[in-house]
Each structure stands twice: as structure tokens, then as C-alpha cells.
Amino acid sequence: MNLSELTLDREGLAAAIACEDPAFEADLRKEAYRIKVATIGPEVYLRGLIEISNICAKNCLYCGIRRDIRCQRYELSEEEALATARIAAQRHFGSVVIQGGERTDVAFIRKITRLLKAIKAIDTGADPPLGVTLSLGEQAREVYEEWFDAGAHRYLLRIEATNPDLYHKIHPNDPLHSYDRRLQALYDLKEIGYQAGTGAMIGMPFQRAEDMADDLLFYKKFDAPMVGMGPYNPHPETPLTLTGAPYPSAERRFALGLKMIALLRLLMPDINIAAATALEVLDPRGREKGILAGANVIMPNITPEDQMVKYNLYDRKTSLPDGAMPVEEMDDKRIVIGYGRWGDSKHFSSALRPGVGKHDNHDSQ
């Protein structure tokens, strides 16, 4: 396949995803990088990743911290989480992501609300207050509202698989794991005024090239201002791995991860696309390669190291040391880091959203 033959409809995207020709894949990544720089510039934005807890009420069949897996559980205290956010401020990261297992108990909800307020009050010197992205799963609409009012302005909730049949193959079949509810949660987030990001895993058992093409078209239809998608990485003790169902090799999942970033950049030139953590466990320079394939966001993990090792979503999750920064030059390209900036998606116009003014954009400087 040649780049000139690529079309961005379902058929064309699926053909590109299925094509394993390295020359085509390299040309595609190069073109996506070119489009990114021409549309939103060369900057890469940082989000310090704080993995607040590996306690989860859900039981997704692929996840190494699912409710029914035996592992050592932890939860950062408010003070620990705040101290970690202060490190992000000191290092001029501009933003943090608070991610964790899904919990809907009142104690947890209120703790996040207090933490958000405390993070927004951190003295960042000349920088704007820290931007905060949450990734804490499905919550009641009122909870999303409470957290938005407390200062969170972006929320990452992956749809995981846009094909409902595939979704049901990788989740238990019960009301706690409802496809429709997850979709509704995404629309709730958008209506409240969050920059609602989504994404899916890439290279899962049972997943076809057409499913991945549909994932890309879903991001476009949802008009996602940011997308965080990444390769599926098996965890040895999860039900999905234990089914023995085949999935692409690590090398293919990595190439697919980069290819999905590149195709999405062609489809949605001005959105934020994260080079997911899952890329870096497949290749120590995975994040940088993601940037050169069209991504513009990196999330250095700043979770305290003794807890980070317990946030074991998949095999070899913690291959990079605590807070490791991307190299700033690769393949003759300089990776320009937008220090001290929120790095909001150029695609997101707060003027079109309710809640305007609550979270002023801090990227104008």
C-alpha cells in the first residue's frame, strides 16, 4: 500500500491498519508528524501521572488491578498525593493526571474534591495553577460536576472498545460493566464542560482491523479534544490472558500503536494525542516514537516508586524509572517540551461549552 492510496473512510483505515509493510508505516508516521507540526506546532505537553490508588470496584477482564485479582493494594493519602503534585509544579510540568481504580464511595469522592482544591492552590511561581486531568472511571453526573467545580478540567475515560460485542468480550457481563453506561458517562463529561478524552486498547484478542478503524471514527464522531489510546499488554493472571485467545506479537502491537496515533492525527489534526505509557513498556523509546508518529502529550509517571510498582496493570508496566523525562532529540527531530503550560487541545473551544470561565485557558503566554 502507498500513502497516496490511503483514504480516511472505514475501508481505507482498516486497509491501512491491516497493512504490515514497514515502508508504508514509516511514510505514514512521517506524514502524521508533518501534519502535527504544521497544525499545532512542535510542542509536547507534560502531565505528571499520579496513580492515586490500585483499589478498584470493577473487574475488567484485561486489567492487572481488577477487583478479583490478588495483589497488594494501596491508596495515596491526600498529603502524599499533594506532595507528588507539588513535585510536578516544581518541575514545571504544567498539569497532572490523577488516575486510579474506579471507586464510587463517598469517602473517596470527597477526598478527590479536597485534593483538587488543594492542588489548584499550589504556588507554581510564575506558572499558571496546575491543570488537572482526572481518570477515575465512571461516576454519577453529580460527582463529575463536583470535581469540575473543584478545579478538574479534563477527564480521560477510555471507551476501551467501540464495538459493543468486543466490549462485552473483554468485560464481565453485568450492569457494573455496561457499554451504554460508559458511553453515557462520556457524554455527561462533555456536557458538563470537561475536555472529555477517550481511547481504546490496540491489539487485543478478538479485535479486528475494522474494529480499530471504527475506534478512530468514533473519536471523530464524538469530537474528542483529546485521545489516549495504547497497545494492549497482557497481564499473566487476568481472565483475558488465561482464555489463551491469540493477539498480535509485542512488535506488531507496538507498530499498531504508532500507526493508530498517525492515522488519528490525519483524521483529527488539531487534537491532543497522548503517547501512552503502554508504548514505553514495549520499547524504552516508545513515548518519543509516539511523538514522532503524531502524538503531542507525554505523561511522566511521578507516583512514589514504592506504590508505582503496585499499579501493575500489565506485565512489565514499570520499566522506566520514576518521572523519567523524554529524550529531547530523536531521529534528527528536536522534541520541544512546553514547560509550565496546560497544553489544552486546540480543538476544544470553551466558548462552545457550558461552564465557560470556570477554567480559563492558560496557554496564551
Three cell numbers written together for 71: 495483589
Q: How far is the CB of 127 from ligand SAM (least distance, A)?
A: 27
The residue count for binding ligand SF4 (CB under 6 A) is 9
Q: What are the distances in angstroms from CA 159 to CA 162, 191, 280, 312?
A: 6, 17, 21, 20
Interaction between residue 66 and ligand SF4 (CB under 6 A): yes
Contact flags string 75-114 toward ligand SAM, x per CB under 6 A: ------------------------x-xx------------
- Cα of 107 vs its chain's centroid, Å: 26
Of 172-180, 190-198, 227-235, 357-365, the window that binds ligand SAM (rule: CB under 6 A) is: 227-235
- In the chain, the amino acid numbered 30 is K
Nearer of residues 129 and 286 to ligand SAM, judged by Cβ:
286
Q: How far is the CB of 23 from ligand SF4 (least distance, A)?
A: 36
Q: How far is the CB of 145 from ligand SAM (least distance, A)?
A: 18
Nearer of residues 233 and 301 to ligand SAM, judged by Cβ:
233
CB 29 within 8 A of CB 292: yes
- Rounded Cα distance between 118 and 107, Å, is 17
- Rounded Cα distance between 265 and 290, Å, is 11
- The partner in contact with residue 337, picked from ligand SF4, ligand SAM, none with C-beta cut-offs of 5 to 8 angstroms by kind, is none
Q: How far is the CB of 174 from ligand SF4 (least distance, A)?
A: 13
**Which one among 50, 112, 183, 201 touches ligand SAM, defined by CB under 6 A?**
201
- Rounded Cα distance between 235 and 51, Å, is 18
Q: How far is the CB of 23 from ligand SAM (least distance, A)?
A: 28
How many CB atoms lie under 10 A from the CB of residue 102? 17
- Rounded Cα distance between 317 and 335, Å, is 24
E runs forming strands in 143-299: 154-156, 195-197, 201-202, 226-227, 230-231, 272-273, 297-298
Contact flags string 25-64 toward ligand SF4, x per CB under 6 A: -------------------------------x-x-x--x-
- Rounded Cα distance between 36 and 33, Å, is 5
The residue count for binding ligand SAM (CB under 6 A) is 17
- Rounded Cα distance between 6 and 29, Å, is 13
Nearer of residues 188 and 344 to ligand SF4, judged by Cβ:
188
- The partner in contact with residue 314, picked from ligand SAM, ligand SF4, none with C-beta cut-offs of 5 to 8 angstroms by kind, is ligand SAM
Interaction between residue 137 and ligand SAM (CB under 6 A): yes
Three cell numbers written together for 219: 473519536
Three cell numbers written together for 42: 512542535
Q: Which residue has the cell 505514514?
A: 28
Touching ligand SF4, residues 127-146 (CB under 6 A): 137
Pairing mode, strands 195-197 and 154-156? parallel
| Site of interaction with ligand SF4 (CB under 6 A) | 56, 58, 60, 63, 65-66, 101-102, 137
| Site of interaction with ligand SAM (CB under 6 A) | 62-63, 99, 101-102, 135, 137, 157-158, 160, 201, 232-233, 235, 278, 313-314
